[in-house]
Amino acid sequence: MQIERMRGDTSPDVFTVTHSTKPKGAVNLTGCSFKMTLSTVPAPVDETTQAYQLVGEIPDPTNGKVEFSPTAAQANLVGYFYYDIQMTDSFGDVSTLVTGTYLYKQDITK
């Protein structure tokens, strides 16, 4: 999945975590935690190519909502990056939920 945003924008990226099998619908995120990591390479071997890593905020756990908000310094990027989102559930199990490209477009207003 590709995400696009403008350089300098700090509004959150919002995701809804859903079940892929029956019963379909939002996953209750109570007790879960999330990380979103951006890298300059698609298959990093360590953390040296990380652009940044965000911890997800869960404003609406029963409806599966999780948000990732970069700071102004983190959002001061232009170009293509690679990302993934990992969830750690209440049992400590880690799942990679989504991967893709992340494009920061150059803005005009500075």
Contact 89, 34 (CB under 8 A): no
Q: CA nearest 11: which of 53, 92, 74?
A: 74
Asked whether residue 110 carries a pLDDT value surpassing 90, the answer given is no
> What is the pairing mode between strands 18-19 and 25-26?
antiparallel
Q: What is the pLDDT of residues 49-87, one digit of tens each?
A: 999 999 999 999 999 999 999 999 999 999 999 999 999
What is the largest distance, in Å, between two alpha-carbon atoms of the chain?
A: 47
Three-state DSSP state, 49: helix
pTM attached to this predicted model: 0.91
